[in-house]
Amino acid sequence: MTTVPSARALRGLACASLVFLALCGGDDGGGARAQSASPALADTSASSNRPAPPDGQPAVLTSPTPGIKFASRSATFVWTNTGANQYGFSIQSATSATPVVDTVTSATTLTVTNLPIDGAGLVVRLRSRFKGKWLPANEYQFTAAGYTAAQSTAAVKPWSDPIALPLVPASAANLPDGKLLLWAARSPTSFSTSSSEAYTYTSVFDPATRSSSPMTVTATGHQMFCPGLSMLADGSVLVTGGSDATKTSIYDPALGGWATGAQLGIARAYQSSTTMSDGSVFTVGGSWNGGLGGKYGEVWSASTRTWRTLAGVPANMPDASNVSNPPLAGPDAAGVYRGDNHMWLFGAAGGWVFHAGPAAAMHWIDTRGSGAILQAGPRSDDPYAMTASAVMYDIGKILKLGGAPNHDSGNAFNTAYIIDINAGPPNPATVRKVSPMAYGRTFVNSVVLPNGEVFVMGGQTQPVTFSDSYSVLAAELWSPVFERFITLPPMQKPRNYHSVALLLLDGRVLAGGGGLCGCPADHPDAEIYTPPYLLAPDGTPAPRPAITAAPATATWGSQIAVATDRAAASFALVRMASATHSVNTDQRRIPLAFTGTAGNYQLGIPADRGVVLPGNYMLFALDGSGVPSVARTINIR
């Protein structure tokens, strides 16, 4: 391969990676800073202002847009056809003296598949040759996919110091104004199952001020400990069962308080629930309280606001009679007391719900009429995995990670799987095993970010309730592009049994709680994590786009007008969520198609109600470097 002759090919590489970024403008990936900081890295406009030589015009890169951050290892470069005999094309990384590519071609397009993924600055040089003479090069600056160490693995203090809370937040939910609803049990630091203690301590936390409202005692006759949680279409929070196993309560953000809901038909606790496409709520399982077994599915109707039992949806344990038709519950060493707990449920269209685990067998659940269960195949080689985490990071795609062979014993798994349910019911899901986490984790929490990455925090390498033993303090971040985890700096406090994690409107993540035992494992506090996408390659805060106008409401299949203060490269919805006991069935990320330029866009809300469940969403705009805006709240129903 012929090497393009150049006196400037390695200009700017005398400084190391982060120095290069700081001096050459790599922190935002934009050509503007490079132009002012270093004439050698001039952008297209600067290069094209040179007088045209008499024997030809230098080619100009037309795609990708200079200044962006690449999304993967691959990119196709296109430039203008100026009639040159040959074009010289090279890519130089700030972290290597060896060019990524250095070639000569007569074509006007080139696909590169070996781009680095370390978040470093890249310089693309494009030259044109006429009659044996190379014209001066045009140079363009980009940023490699991935993150530098300063953004991720070696970020300086990405976690806040612990923030004191008035209670141990064993449960939490997003509120429309960006605050978080937190609650414990019959006291700020302990629980019971006594019907004489039918009340709950609650508080509202404001991430902006890092302050909490005074504790209030919720007197709905319901100790809301170990319940099922679901976010309703209007943004209210439905809490079912728990210590008071037949009770339900509803928190209305508009009123700022709790109200009593219709009683369950079946007493239950440690169950899961999920909102469905019509705004109704499905729940199943939950033998931790209210008796062992018999925890059939139930549906709360959004129209009648009452419950009906689904006789065709039992939460049976596996035994010799159902080997060929495996049930919803898993083979926990503690039997049904634990085996029908904490199911991973995902609402779909038309009254269907997908059951992803913890049992090794997956299912489609039909909630119409008396209900039915259809087999959806095994979760690859993944066994029963209690207190694992499962999160929908893209439309119909679920990342499952961690868990343990029993609720209270065994070594935690570090494995991860992608479950694809886009074929819909009654078709089996497609499952792929991906690269594992650095740590086995049970009692783990995961949060999907607006760019599709999944933030993983807390948990233990062996499940020990009400204990800080075997704690995993280091967080991990999973990339949907590279399907692998990177290890992030550690938290200060363990976040194990009875901990929570939720996405905030500003794109950060709150992790809090653990314990609720009146013991040394109690953690009435929280920490806030700043993900790598909010940092420039040198580790300083990245400039952020801003949404300057967006509607407060939308409906399925509609187009909405959104304005930003700069060009946006993508938009995404992330559903506001609730979390307890490693279960978060509400969160899901939905990338949006859009049209428009120069800060004025039309965004398409998907028409499929099983994709966009009714409720409140965070709407994010992300720029060409992948930096998200602060979200706007939008209600879709």
Indicate the helix (H) or strand (E) that contains 104.
Answer: strand 101-105
pLDDT at 195: 74
Residue ranges of alpha helices (H) inside 529-606 are none
Cβ contact 348:355 at 8 Å: no
Enumerate the active-site residues.
Answer: 497
Confirm if 93 and 120 have CB atoms less than 8 A apart: yes
**Could you give the count of Cα atoms lying within 13 Å of 198 in the half-sphere of its Cβ?**
13
Domain limits, the chain: 17-143, 163-534, 547-636
Residues 167-226 have pLDDT tens digits of 999 999 999 999 999 999 999 999 988 777 889 999 999 999 999 999 999 888 999 999
Answer yes or no: is pLDDT of 470 > 80.
yes
Name the least confident of 14-18, 162-166, 552-556. Answer: 14-18
Whether pLDDT at 50 is above 70: no
Our CA angle for 231, 273, 630, nearest 5°, is 30
Looking at residue 53, its pLDDT comes to 52
Distance, C-alpha 365 to centroid of its chain: 25
Q: In the CATH scheme, what architecture does the domain 163-534 have?
A: 7 Propeller (2.130)
Q: What is the mean pLDDT of residues 100-107?
A: 98
Structure tokens at 409: 């014993």
What is the spatial distance between Cα 289 and Cα 529, in angstroms, rounded to a whole number? 35
Confidence of residue 24 (pLDDT cuts 50, 70, 90): very low
pLDDT > 60? residue 33:
no
Q: Cα torsion for 317, 323, 327, 332, to the nearest 10°?
A: 40
Distance of CA 564 to the CA centre of its chain: 23
What does the alpha-carbon distance between residue 17 and residue 42 come to, in Å, rounded to a whole number?
19
- 17-143 and 547-636 in the same fold: yes
Q: Over range 323-327, report the average pLDDT.
A: 96
Whole-number pLDDT of residue 192? 87
Query: Per residue in 190-200, pLDDT tens?
Result: 998 877 788 99
Could you tell me the two tokens for 518? 């009146």
Quick one: average pLDDT of 84-102?
Answer: 97
Our CA angle for 527, 532, 533, nearest 5°, is: 115
For domain 547-636, give the fold: Immunoglobulin-like (2.60.40)
- Give domain 17-143's CATH architecture: Sandwich (2.60)
At residue 148 the predicted structure's pLDDT band, cuts being 50, 70 and 90, is very high
- Give pLDDT, residue 55: 72
| Residues ≥6 apart with Cβ < 8 Å to 329 | 285, 315, 316, 317, 318, 336, 339, 340, 359
Above pLDDT 70, what percent of the chain?
92
Q: Is the pLDDT of residue 558 over 90?
A: yes
**pLDDT of amino acid 28:** 38
pLDDT tens for each residue of 561-578 = 999 999 999 999 999 999
Q: Say what the pLDDT of residue 175 is.
A: 98
Across the chain, what does the average pLDDT equal? 92
Report, as an integer, the average pLDDT of 56-79. Answer: 96
* E strand or H helix at 430: strand 430-434
Task: Return the pLDDT at 468.
Answer: 98
Residue 270: partners with Cβ closer than 8 Å, 6 or more residues away: 226, 285, 286, 287, 288, 289, 338, 341, 342, 581
Q: Encode pLDDT of 333-345 as tens digits.
A: 999 999 999 999 9
What's the residue count for the chain?
Answer: 637
Instruction: Locate 212 and state its tokens.
Output: 């909490």
Give 618's contacts (C-beta < 8 A, 6+ positions apart).
Answer: 174, 450, 503, 505, 573, 574, 575, 576, 631, 632, 633
Diameter over CA atoms, the chain: 93
pLDDT in tens, 441-468: 999 999 999 999 999 999 999 999 999 9
SS3 category, 44: helix
Q: Is the pLDDT at 34 greater than 70, yes or no?
A: no
Place of tokens 């033993």: 469
pLDDT confidence of residue 54: 52
Q: What is the pLDDT of residues 263-303, one digit of tens each?
A: 999 999 999 999 999 999 999 999 999 999 999 999 999 99
| pLDDT tens digits, 365-419 | 999 999 999 999 999 999 999 999 999 999 999 999 999 999 999 999 999 999 9
Residue with tokens 């009679």: 321
Predicted local distance difference test score (pLDDT) of residue 36: 32
What integer pLDDT is reported at residue 29 of this predicted model?
36
**Mean pLDDT within 620-635:** 98
- Does the structure show a pLDDT above 70 at 601? yes
* Dist CA 168 CA 454 (whole Å): 25
pTM, rounded to two decimals: 0.90
Give mean pLDDT, residues 416-432.
Answer: 98
